[in-house]
Chains A and B, each alone.
Chain A
Amino acid sequence: PGDTSVLAGLYGPAEAKVSKELPDRAALEVLLRPKVGLPGVLERSREQLLRQTCEAVVLGVLHPRTAISLVLQVLSDAGSLLSCCLNAACMALLDAGLPLSALFCGVTCALQPDGTILLDPTARQEQEARAILTFAIASSERKVLMATTKGSCSVEEMQQCLAAAQRAATTIFQFYRDSVRRRYSK
């Protein structure tokens, strides 16, 4: 635990290109750069997931015809990369002071062959698992913003993973609160 790290940079609201600007809301763009190599199809699909999650919380109507760019650089990957990216994205949005309607956090669950649920698996545990589920959970009433599954599992197992993830989300939101408190107390 603690070996996956992602660096997030947020730029905006800045001037958008005429082809990309939306007349009533901000155009959000996410760029995910892997540690080695060029971004491929996997990064593109993750970028779209992140983008849709962020669009659900960012109040884009306050900044029409602008572009908000979020750039994520993977520094090291030891499992649970997508939820690490989600958490980094949320902290970047918080830090920049962009208007948000809710906070969100990412939690990964791995379903092992014997049915036990592991939260925030390492790369090794991810490979051995039967299914990996990633949830983005909002801070208001712990609603689910985004869910991604790799592998197969039954509906009950998914519900159990979701409940476990919602409990874990509380810890992550407390961490956000502590970090922000430390920043503002200086």
Chain B
Amino acid sequence: MSNKSAAATAEASSASAAKRRCCFQETSSSVSLSSSFGSEDMQNLPPKTPLLGETAGLVASAGVSTASAAATPMELGIRDPVLKRYSRDYSRSFQPPQGPPPPPTSTMSNRLALQQQQQQQNRWRQQSGTFEGDSRSSTTASSDFIAAAGLPRQSPAPSLLGDRRQQQQQQVESNVKINGLQMRLLAEESARKRQRIEADQQIHRLRDENIRLQSREGSTEERSRLATVTAELQTVRDEYQDYRSKTQRTLDDCQRNVTRLNREKLELEERATADKERLALELKEARNRVFELTSRELRMTEEARMQAEIRSKELSEWKAHLAEREAQLEESSKLQARVNELELQAKRHESERARLKSANEAIDRYEQVRQQNARLKEQLAAAKQIRDDRLVLEEENRSLRGRLESAESRAATLAADLAAAQTAEAKQSDRSANQSLTADHWSSESARLASAQRELALATAGRAELQIAVSAAERSLSESAAAQSEAEAKIQRLETELGELKRRLRLLSRERDMLKEFVASYRLDCTLGGSGSEQAYLQRISNMESLLDDYKRQLDEALAEKSSTASAAPSRLSLPVESQQQQQQQQASSRLSLGELASKQEASLVIELRQQITELHKRLAAAEEDKEMLAAREARLSDLGDADPRFTRVLHLVQNPAQEAEEARENELAELRKKLEKALTRCEKLEEKLKNRAAAGPADGEAAAATAGSSAAATSVIGDMTRDVSMIVGRGDLLTEIERLKTELDRKDLQKQRQREAFRTNTEKMREAVHRLLGYRVQLESDNPSERLFRISSTYVDFDEQDSDKTSFLFRLNDDNVDLLTTDYVSEWQSDVRHYVQERNSVPAFLATVTLNYFGSSTTLVSSSVMGATTIS
């Protein structure tokens, strides 16, 4: 039995040793597992979470080992917010089993528990990995969203991140505390269970031993051993009871702590939920804000880019401008020398402006002269009309002269007849005694004489009338000749004046162009040199002021030196004090006087320069005013269509309607001049004739006297007109002359109208006479007088049919022959046409035949009717 108990004890001890080994193995396996887990997961985890594996491994190992389980992420030095969040989530999702763990009855159960814990850890890790993946995916999604929106990546707002980080940190701390406490509780419970199991096993062993000892009755030693063992057992029991009560207290404390911590955890979870919601809202707002900020930043970036481009362009422009300015600066140094020259030019410009003004006035005067020229040209046209009238009057004069000559010849004939009659009367009176003439013959002769005397008287009266008419015509002729000569003289004078004015206009235009160029160059000089010279003057003033400051500084130094020498004077022993002071005073006074003099000179120079600048400013203002005035004038002219020859060409076709009208007018004027010359020549010839006639003297009796009288009258009229014209020309009273010419023109118009009426009346009379005498009505068919086409209709044709081609002939009169045009009516007279016109070339015979035919047929009808009437009667 003892051997059995010893074996059992040995077995029990070996079993307990084996259990202890198992526990050790469990611990070492858990450590190795945790370490292996850490190493594996560290390899499998994403690069962002190497610390997570370490933390998980540490926490897992803390879940098994009691002492090291209290390590928190903060204690482990976790500072990464992402890692903290993971550890927080890990801690949150780590829910230890609520009930007491199953008693580790064996190593298998321990292993199972470890495996369960490991699986649980893996699940947590997977969850955390999922969460990590989610978070990573959400981060990626947000980064993708930002990238898709073209927004720059931006960290969240610092305040928001700080709040979140603080809350996460608090939550992680609390979770780690809870986990640590739970781990400690589990470890203590497992340790207590192990101890209880060990105590139970020891009790069982002791009971077994007691039973075995009881089976060895009688053994005192064994009884003493049993009593010892029982005492030990009692001691162990007491210790166990103490330990149990202590453990129970610790457990109660832990439970209380767990309850408190769970409460805190719940509070924290609620707070975390609220924070989460708030943070979600804030995150949303932050995202919106980020979006807005990003879009704004984009806009700002775009604007900045555009501004940068604009600034780069501006920079290049400014560089170019700077280069121009530098060039202008160089030019301004040259232009400064030209300032005086410009002043002279300005004076010259003033004088040129005055000249331009006078030129403009001359141009205006030229316009007036042109208008006057136009008026005179109109007067010339009127004079030409008068000249035409004069031609008509000459014709009239010629006819009147013919009539006068015929009247004179008739008067001469009558005078001869009268002389013959008187001779016959004398002869008859001589013969009266001897011969007795019949009373009839005498009376007839006396009647003939009386009629001859009457005719003579009538002829004399007619001659006188004709002479008066001739004299009037000659007077009007001479008047018109004088007017013509005057108009010619005026034309010549005006042409000369026109040539002069054209020459002046050319000169003025050239001068105007020159002045325009001068003004443009002056303006250019003002534009280029104005600012440069001003800057140069300002620079000069600043130099002068700096020089003045230098002089003042020197003066101050001299005064300071003076004061220092005055203070150092008592220490000098070599020179007498008074002489030293006098010398110093002299030096100081000389320096002072030099400084004052220099400052006065500089001040006067500055004042002078300022005056010059003021004057230049005034000149510049005046030039600006001139420039503005000229610009306004140019703008006005530009609006009106003036062209700047520097930029614009004004073009026209050389052959244009205005040019053609001008040429036509020139041609017309040339023709009129030729006609005028011809008329003047004719007038001169007429005057010569009149003078010759007047000089020829009286041919006989009254006729010669009348001729002499008319010539004298004509000469006197011409002389009067010449005198009048010379008076008018001498006075230069053109308006009076124009009025006179107008009156003359009206008179001539009236005369011309009367002549036309008389001509028409005579033409009608002539036509009527032809109609009645020759039996044909003659009408001018064509409007063109040069064509000379006549329609001739017989008086025996019905009046209504006289104008038609069926009852009239058409004749065209040529210079040497007459053409009969073919009509329907001509075909009716074909045989007569052939006989008279074609064969014998006698149109009058043909017309007479036609008339006789008509007359014969009408006479036959009348005679037959008369005969019929006679027969009837």
On whether the two chains bind one another, the answer is no
Which A positions have Cβ atoms within 8 angstroms of B?
Answer: none
